[in-house]
Amino acid sequence: MKFLLVPYPDPVSGHPTKYVRDSIPEIKSYPGGATTPTPKAISFKPGELLGDETGAFGIKSWLESLGHQVVVTTDKEGPNSVFEKELVDADVVLSQPFYPAYMTAQRFAIAKKLKLCVTVGIGSDHYDLDAANEHAVTVAEVSYSNSRSVAEHIVMTALILVRNFVASHEVAKAGGWNIADCAERSYDLEGMHFGTIAAGRIGLDVLRKLKPFDLHLHYYDKHRLTPKLEEELGLIYHASVDEMLPFLDVLNISCPLHPETQGMVNAKFIAKCKRGVFIVNTARGGLCDENAVAEACKTGQIGGYGGDVWYPQPAPKDHPWRTMPYNAMVPHISGTSLSAQARYCAGTREILEDFLEGRPYRKEYLIAHKGRLAGAGAYAYTTRQ
Ligand code: NAP
């Protein structure tokens, strides 16, 4: 069989031969009791860089040892790309949301042998799910593998924005000492109203992590959490996003991108927020109208915007979020720490072992299967039809 892998390019200084740390903690289960991936074996050392071209998700040598053809490319855009040329007879496509191989309906149509698309990580919106269903291609992702990594990044970004870290760091780097320049936009998170759109694996973990900061914690999700959990974390539930927005000093977005949520954060949405709201988005860039966000950062309606997700990816050099004021943007990295890579590459191996040996996939890994949304996908995604 032919496996088409689209990792991100190697570091500019080359694939690392040495790492900052000699090992990473071993994590065996997630909150709620689900186990971390359980492949029969792995062919990499946890803590190594696996998401780049040389790392090749830690599966290349294993697949080749089984006699399969493995094509690894970072050239993914347009009809003349290596990806599109190799796609025509590929059986399996694998790519990470950080550097997505966009599988449009047109690309599904030319991939006549395609059976499986794996999201090496979480978030399968770069695969057109309607088209996947039309062609009965299975879409699977490694649910939970990097959810807690992203939750850590959200807490960090909320603090960075509220405390005015980025501008203060620039002052220090430039040799300055004007405390007032740093302090004039700096606040404490304590006592603020924090709200999350979606309390799934990431959103709920953020609420848990923020509980000791003594905030007011709000949430909206399509499915309400249990009364026990709401009480334990002191959560304020809202029946709609519109109802929640006027309360918030800090808004977090952790819902998937699908037809229902595309472009949700537009000028009308932003106008419903308190002046100076801080917004953290590590979910997907396509959830926002990028120009409306940039404009509101300029006028002060948004006090600061941070996260790691853009559209498209890689983001163009002139993307307004690179230069808009009070931004704490980074490339799409929150879910690809070396710790997260070890889990999602082990989960990818587990999915491929199940595929090759004809076993059912873990239900929580499925997004689309046998022509319809399935598993985690049936719960959190919608399609156009
Ligand atoms: P999850 O456990 O499936 O949670 C997603 C939650 O979003 C579910 O609770 C779902 O509600 C809710 N939801 C769906 N549509 C909604 C809507 N219209 N309004 C409000 N809530 C809605 O997924 P997760 O692990 O938390 O990940 C969430 C998203 O984060 C992913 O889809 C991906 O886009 C993004 N992500 C980013 C990175 C990164 O590196 N930046 C890494 C991983 C994931 P119900 O299930 O109750 O219907």
Separation of alpha carbons 186 and 276, rounded Å: 12
pTM: 0.95
> Is residue 122 within 6 Å of ligand 1 at its C-beta?
yes
- How many beta carbons lie within 10 A of that of residue 271, not counting itself? 12
Catalytic residue numbers read 146, 284, 313, 332
CATH superfamily to which 2-145+336-373 belongs: NAD(P)-binding Rossmann-like Domain (3.40.50.720)
By alpha-carbon position, which residue is closest to atom 40 of ligand 1? 335
Separation of alpha carbons 150 and 142, rounded Å: 14
Mean residue pLDDT of the chain comes to: 97
Q: What pLDDT digit, counting tens, does each position of 36-80 carry?
A: 999 999 999 999 999 999 999 999 999 999 999 999 999 999 999
Average pLDDT estimate for 127-147:
98
Average pLDDT estimate for 161-189:
98
| Cα–ligand 1 centroid distance for 200 (angstroms) | 6
| Cα–ligand 1 centroid distance for 14 (angstroms) | 34
- How many beta carbons lie within 10 A of that of residue 260, not counting itself? 12
Separation of alpha carbons 107 and 333, rounded Å: 26
Quick one: pLDDT at residue 384? 78
> Is residue 153 within 6 Å of ligand 1 at its C-beta?
no
> Is residue 376 within 6 Å of ligand 1 at its C-beta?
yes
Quick one: pLDDT at residue 385? 67
Are 2-145+336-373 and 147-329 in the same CATH fold? yes
Q: Do the beta carbons of residue 102 and residue 82 sit within 8 Å?
A: no
Q: What pLDDT digit, counting tens, does each position of 323-359 carry?
A: 999 999 999 999 999 999 999 999 999 999 999 999 9
> Is the pLDDT reported for residue 239 higher than 70?
yes
Domain boundary assignment for the chain: 2-145+336-373, 147-329
Structure tokens at 145: 């593998």
Quick one: pLDDT at residue 8? 98
Quick one: pLDDT at residue 211? 98
By alpha-carbon position, which residue is closest to atom 10 of ligand 1? 380
Q: Which atom of ligand 1 is nearest to the CA of 256?
A: 32
> Is the pLDDT reported for residue 376 higher than 80?
yes
b/e burial code for range 80-114 (CB count within 10 A of at least 16 → b): ebebbebbeebbbbbbbbbbbbbbeeebbeebeeb
> Is residue 367 within 6 Å of ligand 1 at its C-beta?
no
**Probe residue for ligand 1, chosen from 96, 119, 122 as the CB with the greatest number of ligand atoms within 8 Å:** 122
b/e burial code for range 6-17 (CB count within 10 A of at least 16 → b): bbbeeeeeeeee
Average pLDDT estimate for 178-207:
98
Quick one: pLDDT at residue 184? 98
Average pLDDT estimate for 274-284:
98
147-329 in CATH: which number?
3.40.50.720
Quick one: pLDDT at residue 250? 99
Alpha helices in the chain (DSSP H): 60-65, 82-87, 105-110, 129-134, 147-162, 165-173, 179-183, 201-210, 227-233, 241-244, 267-271, 290-299, 320-323, 338-357, 375-380
Separation of alpha carbons 245 and 115, rounded Å: 42
| Cα–ligand 1 centroid distance for 194 (angstroms) | 17
Q: Do the beta carbons of residue 92 and residue 26 sit within 8 Å?
A: no
